[in-house]
């Protein structure tokens, strides 16, 4: 307390507590998704009491008070709303409280919805990523030199780990695909003509489950869309109409196409690796005057409108990227240096999607 007023001390303490406890936000959100709360309310067709939720989710009745406490936090953070079923009833019966979806939890309905971020929530707040996050301090200290904190925690890199563990591989691919579907629908709707109009072919390099390629192919069936990804990823993908899957390594070969899409790829690699990938992409596309381009979807730090809600996200993502890969989130100057060194003549930031930008680069 030396030299500090009590108010200053309390403010500092509150600041620390708020940050220290942030993980409870994500573990509670994960809990609700794991239990299937958004799905239950959606299937019920309207707001539910805790007893109804407990029954629908096949949770032992004795656990109801614990679920109520999780729901209280998630109401506070805007994932559910709460209202009284019998407005006139002014007794304090908890079972008059009914919980409803908000626009955020509607995006977490998982049962068959093509617009769900539930797999992303489960993966990012999952044990493997959390364990890697717990290793950041030791990794930075560098007692044992490994490429990433994920290597330190799990003895290998994230892609090798995925290759050996089908469940992790599926969770990773589902997580990427879930955000891809939601984001790509918006991109195709608002920017599709600018980005994909006039193309004859496009290859989505590191395209995972093909969610982005499928969204493009549905809206532009005349564009021949393919996905290049690692053999263990392609091997488990179901066939998708209008999308061809190709097994391969982007550091070795990228199939020819008018355009290459790199969505959430380059932020996972360091400067030199990005240059190698982009050189491969440049070899795969025609000259600019013949329509050749690479379309990149990644964060551009400091670009676009930042508001209070989105402000911290690129920095959070940067730490997750550092945890699992050799890459980083970059500002425009860093991107420009990579593009030039990979032999591209120019670039254009086409649009700003909140946290991400779409950049076209031209050979
Ligand atoms: C962060 S995910 C992005 C997936 C997808 N583009 C999306 O936005 O949903 C990175 C992808 O790159 C793939 N990948 C990693 N190394 C690769 C390589 N050497 N060649 C091709 N794909 C690779 C991974 O398997 C994974 O699907």
Q: List, in order of start, the domains of the chain with CATH numbers.
A: 6-106 (1.10.10.10), 118-362 (3.40.50.150)
Please report, to the nearest 10 degrees, the dihedral formed by the alpha carbons of residues 338, 343, 349, 351 taken in order: -100
Q: Report pLDDT for 356.
A: 86
Q: Which residue among 267, 271, 303, 308 is the active-site one?
A: 267
Read off the pLDDT band of 109 (50, 70, 90): very high
Tokens representing 22 are 């942030």
Mean predicted lDDT score pLDDT of the chain: 91
Mean pLDDT of 337-363: 92
Q: How many angstroms separate the Cα of 7 from the Cα of each of 11, 20, 21?
A: 6, 20, 21
Q: In this predicted model, what pLDDT tens digit does every residue of 120-165 receive, in sequence order?
A: 999 999 999 999 999 999 999 986 677 899 999 999 999 999 999 9
Kindly give the distance from the C-alpha atom of residue 208 to the centroid of ligand 1, in angstroms, as a whole number: 6
Q: Report pLDDT for 95.
A: 74
Distant-in-sequence, close-in-space partners of 300: CB < 8 Å, separation ≥ 6:
330, 331, 332, 335, 349, 357, 359
- Distance CA(148)–CA(139), nearest Å, equals 7
- Distance CA(189)–CA(170), nearest Å, equals 28
Nearest Cα to 200, choosing from 315, 87, 281, 293?
293
Ligand 1: does its nearest atom lie under 6 Å from the Cβ of 316? no
Percentage of residues of the chain with pLDDT beyond 90: 75
Distant-in-sequence, close-in-space partners of 19: CB < 8 Å, separation ≥ 6:
none
Q: In this predicted model, what pLDDT tens digit does every residue of 190-201 receive, in sequence order?
A: 999 999 999 999
Read off the pLDDT band of 309 (50, 70, 90): low
Is 267 designated active site? Answer: yes
Q: How crowded is the C-beta side of 290, counted as CA atoms within 13 Å?
A: 8
Cα 301 to its chain centre, rounded Å, is 17
CB-CB contact of 299 with 270 (8 Å): no
Kindly give the distance from the C-alpha atom of residue 213 to the centroid of ligand 1, in angstroms, as a whole number: 13
Kindly give the distance from the C-alpha atom of residue 206 to the centroid of ligand 1, in angstroms, as a whole number: 3
């Amino acid at each position: 307390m030396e030299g500090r007023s009590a108010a200053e001390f309390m403010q500092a303490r509150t600041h620390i507590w708020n940050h220290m406890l942030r993980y409870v936000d994500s573990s509670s959100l994960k809990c609700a998704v794991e239990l299937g709360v958004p799905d239950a309310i959606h299937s019920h067709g309207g707001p539910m009491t805790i007893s109804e939720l407990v029954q629908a989710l096949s949770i032992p009745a004795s656990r109801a008070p614990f679920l109520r406490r999780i729901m209280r936090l998630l109401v506070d953070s805007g994932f559910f709303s709460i209202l009284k079923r019998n407005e006139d009833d002014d007794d304090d019966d908890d079972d008059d409280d009914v919980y409803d979806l908000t626009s955020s939890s509607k995006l977490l309905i998982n049962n068959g919805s093509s617009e769900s971020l539930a797999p992303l929530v489960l993966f990012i707040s999952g044990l493997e990523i959390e364990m890697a996050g717990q290793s950041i301090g030791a990794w930075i200290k560098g007692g044992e030199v490994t490429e990433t904190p994920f290597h330190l925690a799990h003895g290998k890199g994230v892609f090798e780990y995925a290759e050996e563990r089908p469940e992790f591989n599926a969770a990773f691919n589902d997580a990427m695909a879930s955000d891809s579907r939601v984001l790509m629908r918006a991109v195709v709707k608002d920017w599709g003509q600018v980005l994909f109009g006039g193309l004859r072919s496009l290859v989505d390099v590191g395209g995972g489950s093909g969610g982005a390629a499928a969204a493009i192919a549905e809206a532009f069936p005349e564009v021949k869309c393919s996905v290049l990804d690692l053999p263990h990823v392609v091997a488990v993908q179901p066939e998708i109409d209008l999308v061809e899957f190709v097994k391969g390594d982007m550091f070795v070969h990228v199939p020819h196409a008018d355009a290459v899409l790199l969505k959430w790829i380059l932020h996972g690699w360091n400067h030199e690796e990005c240059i190698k990938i982009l050189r491969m992409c440049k070899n795969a596309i025609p000259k600019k005057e013949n329509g050749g381009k690479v379309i990149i979807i990644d964060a551009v730090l400091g670009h676009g409108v930042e508001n209070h809600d989105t402000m911290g996200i690129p920095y959070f993502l940067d730490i997750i990227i550092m945890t699992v890969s050799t890459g980083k989130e970059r500002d425009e100057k860093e991107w420009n240096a990579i593009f030039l060194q990979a032999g591209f003549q120019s670039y254009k930031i086409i649009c700003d999607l909140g946290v991400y930008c779409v950049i076209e680069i031209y050979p």
